[in-house]
Chains A and B, each alone.
Chain A
Amino acid sequence: MIKFNLKLIVLSFLLLISLKPLQSAEMADPIKVDWSFKGLTGTFDRASLQRGFQVYKEVCASCHSMQYLSYRNLGEPGGPEFSEQEVKAIASSFEIEDGPDSQGEMFTRPGKPSDKFKSPYPNVQAATAANGGAYPPDMSVLVKARKGGANYIYSVLVGYEDPPPGVTLDDGVYYNKYMAGNKIKMPNNLMDGLVEYADGTESTVDQMAKDVTTFLAWAAEPELEQRHKTGVKVIIYLVLLTTLVYLSMKKIWSRVDTEV
């Protein structure tokens, strides 16, 4: 009886869920990409992360901050894993404001691995003003902050199109089929060959979009690889212990006449 009713519940619930909301009418579903970091044992593609950082540095970073990341993160396990020298070189290529010194003055110095990523604007207001009233969001946790995650970010990057007839766009507004409302204030910044990859990979728009999305996915979840590895171990451990406890329970309950 009860089992039958459970089935009934599941069925009616599935029925409910099949009534999809109507809200996403004008927004295309994001492209599904087979990311290497998907799944229970997914890991990041190091080369892609390093290329993605290059795209971020040369293209995105002129408007988007990543204030929760530090240069040292680039050398940490589970990330792009640049060497210590490379991380130092990357950090020192940025001028970081520090201070006050013993005279009370602020000064700039070359960045250190312990410094946070340098932001392109001093504050949100400055960033908003410089970008026609649209704040370019901080990208530290962007992949976690968008429904659809990495697929969505990638789709928006490659989703620029000419507006369909009848759609008029204001100045500084662009048409993107994956964006909510199809209107985006970020211009299409990627074009083939824009970045010269250090490893010789051909920098097509699609390649750059994938690389930078991979980089952003890592930036949002730098613990992902460790999490997956620990998770597999924890589940195996729990299943083993559960089996042992189940057998123990059967043994203990064999002393009484009730089934367990």
Chain B
Amino acid sequence: MSKEEKKVNRRDFLFTASYTIGAVGVGAVIWPMIDQMNPDKAQQALATTEVDISGIEPGKSITVLWRGKPIFIKKRTSEEIAEARAVKLDDLPDPQKDEDRVKDGKDEWLVMLGVCTHLGCVPLKDKGDFNGWFCPCHGSHYDVSGRIRKGPAPTNMEIPKFEFVDSNTIKIG
């Protein structure tokens, strides 16, 4: 290798190294500027909510706020459960058994995120063609298990992570 070539190589290495390391630094500086818009620590700390469900009559439902979004908690009657379980999976756009949407042994309690999976509106209860919910924004019909039956929404209403703390209290999140 001639002396001239060596010089060029060293120069190339220097410039490449400077550019590369400089780019890494710029990336490292950009991340905090992006991450600051993510939920902050105070928001993250509010991720669980406990709800008292002792006052809900069969067939009625309540709506509570969790992470700024409505949660529908419905105590279903045995007729409603039977109706939900009688539906053939083939008739569902997003096939899912009712049993998979409730906790074992607590079949009457439907706890779900009350947000239409189409574009985020809140569906109205006891409306629509399937005795469940109806989204007024773009006409999605949900059944008594919160599953999509008709309309533009692609999937069933989401079931959040929740558990029964005792028979009268559930913890969402």
A–B direct touch, CB within 8 Å, in complex?
yes
Would you give the shortest CB distance from B67 to chain A, in whole angstroms?
Answer: 12
**Chain B residues closer than 8 Å to A251, beta-carbon distance:** 10-11, 14
**Number of B interface residues in the complex (CB < 8 A):** 14
Give bound CA distance, A8 to B5, whole Å: 49
Would you give the shortest CB distance from A247 to chain B, in whole angstroms?
Answer: 5
- The main secondary structure of chain A at its interface with chain B is helix
**Chain B residues closer than 8 Å to A238, beta-carbon distance:** 25
Give bound CA distance, A113 to B14, whole Å: 52
**Chain A residues closer than 8 Å to B15, beta-carbon distance:** 248
Assess the A244–B45 pair: CB atoms within 8 A. Answer: no
Assess the B18–A248 pair: CB atoms within 8 A. Answer: yes
Would you give the shortest CB distance from B19 to chain A, in whole angstroms?
Answer: 9
Closest B residue, CB atoms, query A109: B50
Give bound CA distance, A235 to B19, whole Å: 18
**Chain A residues closer than 8 Å to B22, beta-carbon distance:** 241, 245
- Highest count of chain B CB atoms <10 Å: which of A72, A237, A245: A245
Assess the B42–A244 pair: CB atoms within 8 A. Answer: no
Total contacts A-B at CB 8 Å: 31
**Number of A interface residues in the complex (CB < 8 A):** 14
Instruction: Produce 1/0 per residue, B30-45, CB < 8 A to A.
Output: 0000000000011001
Assess the A113–B25 pair: CB atoms within 8 A. Answer: no
Assess the B25–A241 pair: CB atoms within 8 A. Answer: yes
Would you give the shortest CB distance from A56 to chain B, in whole angstroms?
Answer: 21
**Chain A residues closer than 8 Å to B42, beta-carbon distance:** 70, 114
Assess the B21–A244 pair: CB atoms within 8 A. Answer: yes
Give bound CA distance, A241 to B25, whole Å: 9
Give bound CA distance, A198 to B17, whole Å: 54
A-B contact pairs, 25 of them (CB 8 A): A70-B45, A72-B41, A72-B45, A76-B41, A113-B45, A114-B42, A114-B45, A114-B46, A237-B25, A237-B28, A240-B21, A241-B18, A241-B21, A241-B22, A241-B25, A244-B17, A244-B18, A244-B21, A245-B18, A247-B14, A248-B14, A248-B15, A248-B18, A251-B10, A251-B11
